[in-house]
A and B are shown apart, each in its own frame.
Chain A
Amino acid sequence: MFQITRKQELAKGTIVRFDILAPKIAKKAKAGQFIILRVNETGERIPMTIADKDEFAGIITIIFQVVGKTTALMRSLKEGDFIRDVAGPLGRPAEVEKIGTVLMVGGGTGVAILYHVAKAFKEAGNYVISIIGAREKDLVILENEMDFISDELVVTTDDGSYGYRGFVTQPLEKYLEERYDIKLIYSIGPIIMMKNVCAITKKYNIPTIVSLNPIMIDGTGMCGGCRVKIDGKIKFACVDGPDFDGQLVDFNELSKRNSIYLKDEKDCLLFSIK
């Protein structure tokens, strides 16, 4: 059993942040890794990227968007409540080293994961430029945190209600035009956003890493549910990833696979409301 030590609702309550007491995991967790959790006996196993950790307090942080039954159930939990199972840290950590200037691009809840990676790059001594996007002002998350660890920060909203009006790809293209010292781009967010980011960076021939979040059950390579096509070959996001070279990812197939269980999610949510 793993206790929730702190709960915080972000973005009008559609995005929630949990601090979970899991000292062994906190000790090992690195940026880019994830956990698999199961809320209760009848629950699903769902992957959650570790958004932050405090090794000394023994705490890991997860930030999730309420989309289905499990995440709705998780939002109903209070500080002090327990999560039945937490396994991790899983996946390969992001490869963080001092390389100069890095550009971090995140969208939606992806910003939560981006924060952990951006922080690691900053701590490694890089010059960090961050671009984070959301649909509207209220959905922008972790702006202060990102600002704190970034040397430059651009916030975009699709409707222009805050910051730069438009998608994250526009400031990205501007940076790539103006700066010649960007060594690496790291992108986390909706599949369509990562796909567009990769399409742009390809023109400039700059290495681009994306973090994928496909369907997953066990998170240890066993089920193969998280299979993605990388350079035409089947890879498992949980053991070979979740980070991959964005230019090699078959995004079309990934978005098709991720749409498969949407109907089941709805069925399950309806059942739980009944």
Chain B
Amino acid sequence: MLDQDVRYLKYKTFLNTYCPYCRQSFNVEEKDKKVIVFNANFNGSALKLKLSPFLDVFEVESSIPIEKNEILTELECPYCKKSLIKPEMRCGECGSQVGEVIISTHDKLIPFYLCLRYGCEWHGLSKSDERKIKLKIPRQEMPEQDQKLRTANHQEVPYGYTSELALLEAGRCLQCKKPECVLGCPVNIDIPEFVRLIAEEKFDEAVKKIKERNVLPAICGRVCPQENQCEETCILGVKDEPVAIGNLERFVADWERKMDLVKIPKIKQKLNKKIAVIGSGPAGLTVAADLQQLGYSVTIFEAFHETGGVLTYGIPEFRLPKSIVHFEINYMKEMGVRVELNHVIGKIITVDELLENFDAVFIGVGAGLPKFMNIDGESLGNVFSANEYLTRMNLMKAYKFPEYDTPKPKGTRVAIIGGGNVVMDCARTAIRTGSAEVIIVYRRSRSELPARHEEVRHAEEEGVKFRLLTNPVKFLGTDSNTLKAMECIKMELAEPDESGRRKPIPIEGSNFIIDVDMAVVAIGNSANPIIFQTTPDIKLNKWGYIIVNPDTNETSKEFVYAGGDIVTGSATVIQAMGAGRIAANAIHKKLSNMNGKRIN
């Protein structure tokens, strides 16, 4: 067998090791650690060769001093005494003799080779067997804050991988020839390549690889619904758990930031062309970063007093620390992106006025007009839209009330209505602000919950309760017009409709009352009309979202592009970034192909 056919097993994989002949296990407990023990022979003297089952420590126990680089002449099974030496094979590193043992993986026994030269740590298995061994490594979970402690603070829950965990997890990737994960990613990150670089401990190259396609890895690693994207299509997931791509993405991005290795990219040429980006959420930031890097002068117009869009006002601190959002935005500012706060475009400046001064305009304002259920009592005090609740808590920092002036919405028993990530965010925020009981009321069943699995799990761990197959029909108020209870009706699921989801139908006469003194309606958003009130020539669909050419994301108004929730309706951070990427490419192409300047 040639050495290139033998793969080096680098990662600290725990192995059960057996004799290929008598099939007895070599693993022995010795004090606190498990070791593999062989009978070995050196120049005619008996030795005991010890190897940790993690395959990273060679030790030889003997009364004869043994030098490094000396070769064992015999290796035998301590039970059946048969020789384990494979004379036809050689070590991949030093060419010495190798021994063969058997390791077990998933009911399969695989031959495994190790070099017999003392001091050489070469060991490996054949390429065709590599897949089988990788399945042996379980998916590595991120260490997290204690369940009890974390409900009393607003700090981030998962701590992220350590380098060791990242190496282990990256080692699980099979490096598929036709990687399905890349197709599952809305911005087509070269996932196998960056995972391989992590496995080789080249963290800096890994993060560069990601940043070729995704400018905000620290954010996407945290908030992307990977289980419905890259990790859903991972081949390992068919029989086992998929590779934790999101956790790895987060790990390298955090590593780069913590090691202070983030460098401002050099901008090769100045193009003397100006781009206006409306909204500083994920779509807008992507367009800004991409085009600034290509040499354009980008100005972002943000309606609020803080940048980041949904990353700032929507996603809570414990899920996405604001310091990370600030870091990413500072990075863009250092690249030369200008940011104008408190600019509500459509009001202070119209899109047409922007076109007089900028070569192209990108609209990434998000959906941002909350939906209500239109049921009785929805205007009572302590009934909030998710946007209002989260904006107060996150953007206005009401959780620090009265240090901050914005009043903190509070309730003892709180109902959150809906089933998405925003619902989990609201519920977990309420738990952290001292509500005794938080109940999620969702009209479908558990398997239809659209939220990320991790968010649902975190919410449950923190004590959030679920009332599934339940829908509110009425809010009941006290004399002072604040909420005191909610009338609900039980639902059942009918056959799937055209959308493929099972339609919830109310069960007549099943009404009941839940006592709650605060409710948050988190059933989605519709399109914000502000820009279009002054720009009627941008065509909208029947729901008020912008119609774009899907290849370029250009709107019906030339030189005006759009992307994110204002085009698709409520979606994910990474989808918005994907849309921003398409628009940035199209803007660059269009402006490059133009003769002369569009504006003076």
Contact = CB atoms under 8 A, between A and B. Distances in A.
Given A42-B403, A44-B405, A234-B378, A220 B387 contact: no
A221 B303 CA distance: 11
B530 A220 contact: yes
Contacts of A85: 305, 341-342
A224 B388 contact: yes
B528 interface: yes
Given A42-B404, A218-B391, A90 B481 contact: no
Interface stretch (B19-27, B164-172, B367-375): B367-375
A216 to B, nearest CB: 10
Contacts of A125: none
A145 interface: no
A189 B391 CA distance: 28
B557 interface: no
Contact of A260 (B403, B405, B482): B482
Interface stretch (B45-53, B84-92, B213-221, B343-351): B343-351
Contacts of A217: 388, 391-392, 396, 406
Given A222-B368, A253-B379, A25 B348 contact: yes
A70 interface: yes
B159 interface: no
B396 A222 contact: no
Contacts of A87: 303-305, 342-344, 348
A264 interface: yes
Give the interface residue-count category, chain A.
35 or more
Contacts of B378: 227, 234
Interface string A91-103: 0100000000000
Given A84-B305, A85-B341, A221-B369, A45 B379 contact: no
Contact of A267 (B304, B384, B402): B402
Nearest to A238: B530
Interface in B179-221: none
Contacts of B347: 28, 88-90
Interface string A200-244: 000000000000000001111111110101000010100100000
A76 to B, nearest CB: 14
B276 to A, nearest CB: 15
Give the interface residue-count category, chain B.
35 or more
A257 interface: yes
Contacts of A70: 405
Contacts of A219: 344
A217 B368 CA distance: 13
B158 interface: no
Contacts of A227: 372, 378-379
A78 B68 CA distance: 81
B78 interface: no
B481 A221 contact: no
A253 B404 CA distance: 28
Interface string A60-74: 000000000110000
A69 B391 CA distance: 20
A3 B381 CA distance: 35
Given A223-B385, A239-B528, A88 B348 contact: yes
Given A88-B344, A217-B388, A227-B378, 7 more contacts: A38-B305, A44-B406, A87-B303, A219-B344, A220-B344, A224-B385, A253-B379
Interface of B: 303-305, 313, 341-344, 347-349, 368-370, 372, 374, 378-382, 384-385, 387-388, 391-392, 396-397, 401-407, 480-482, 528-530, 533
Interface of A: 24-25, 28, 38, 42-45, 69-70, 84-90, 92, 217-225, 227, 229, 234, 236, 239, 253, 256-257, 259-261, 264-265, 267-268, 271-272
- Give 4 nearest A-B pairs by CB, closest first: A264-B407, A260-B381, A271-B402, A224-B385
7 contacts: A24-B348, A28-B348, A42-B404, A219-B344, A220-B528, A239-B530, A264-B407
